[in-house]
Amino acid sequence: MSEDIHSDIGSDPALPPDTKLTTTKQRWAQEGRFLTGRVTRPETERLPAGQHLVKDWPVLDLGMTPVVTREAFRLDVTGAVETALSLDWDAFRALPQTRNVSDIHCVTTWSRYDNAFEGVSTRELLERVRPAPHAAAVMLHSYDGYTTNLLLEDFAAEDAVIAHSWEGAPLTREHGGPVRLVVPHLYFWKSAKWLKGIEFIARDKAGFWEERGYHMRGDPWAEERYSDD
């Protein structure tokens, strides 16, 4: 029996209906679209296989942009942790802040270099909540009903940031404001926008895209775009 503190994230909001993009992305997973079979290494090649560079910043999501005011914002950290947290905007902003410049790699093949994100590092949060020994993964929950999973060690990456700003300005609503996660070493679908909850779990479990044919881990350097089955 686990002794997890019961999640108070509550049930996820209802998902918006499928859009053309979400339907197409499910088909790409079935077809294995964009796979080059080439393995790249971040030490020698900055751009992972099958990716191309963009200068603008595309918007990708389920097609529904939730309105989350700073007043209504809550970030709940629950599950297999010693100290669960429910942070309002002021409490979140009162945590030590970091700035990190990173590259974005989206599974739909665009990449964007040098994005300066500001926020709270996941390591800072981990120090405060202290995951239980049996915690192995996290499920991220968002205000649009989106979910995505990460192994604990990926969530704990040195450059992973729970971000509120990009290039010195508050994150726009379309890019996930007030607060989104940024995990630079994995495909960008793992970087949940409109973050609402971080749930520590004993066993890795599929989120929205992972249930629809996308890879459980999503390492661009290993071209982990889709699941094998």
Ligand X SMILES: Nc1nc2c(c(=O)[nH]1)N[C@H]1C(S)=C(S)[C@@H](COP(=O)(O)O)O[C@H]1N2
Residues that bind ligand X (CB under 6 A): 57-62, 106, 142, 144, 146, 175-176, 188-189, 191-194
Q: Is 37 exposed, middle or buried (0-12, 13-18, 19+ CB in 10 A)?
A: exposed
Of 4 and 140, which CB lies nearer to ligand X in the complex structure? Answer: 140
Q: Is 17 helix (H, G, I), strand (E, B) or coil?
A: coil
Q: Smallest gap, in angstroms, from Cβ of residue 131 to Mo ion?
A: 27
- Characterise 26 by phi-psi region: left (phi > 0), alpha (psi -120 to 50), beta (else): alpha
Q: Smallest gap, in angstroms, from Cβ of residue 55 to ligand X?
A: 13
Residue of this chain nearest to Mo ion (CB atom): 189
Identify which of 142, 150, 144 has the alpha carbon closest to the alpha carbon of residue 215. Answer: 150
Binding partner at 176 among Mo ion, ligand X, none, C-beta below 5 to 8 Å by kind: ligand X
Q: Smallest gap, in angstroms, from Cβ of residue 172 to ligand X?
A: 9
Q: Are strands 110-121 and 137-142 parallel, antiparallel or unpaired?
A: unpaired
Continuous segment of H or E residues that includes residue 63: none
Of 146 and 189, which CB lies nearer to Mo ion in the complex structure? Answer: 189
Nearest-angstrom CA–CA distance, 193 and 144: 9
Q: Smallest gap, in angstroms, from Cβ of residue 63 to ligand X?
A: 8
Of 4 and 61, which CB lies nearer to Mo ion in the complex structure? Answer: 61
Binding partner at 194 among Mo ion, ligand X, none, C-beta below 5 to 8 Å by kind: ligand X
Nearest-angstrom CA–CA distance, 186 and 149: 11
Residues that bind Mo ion (CB under 5 A): 60, 106, 189
For residue 50, give the amino acid letter: G
Of 166 and 189, which CB lies nearer to Mo ion in the complex structure? Answer: 189
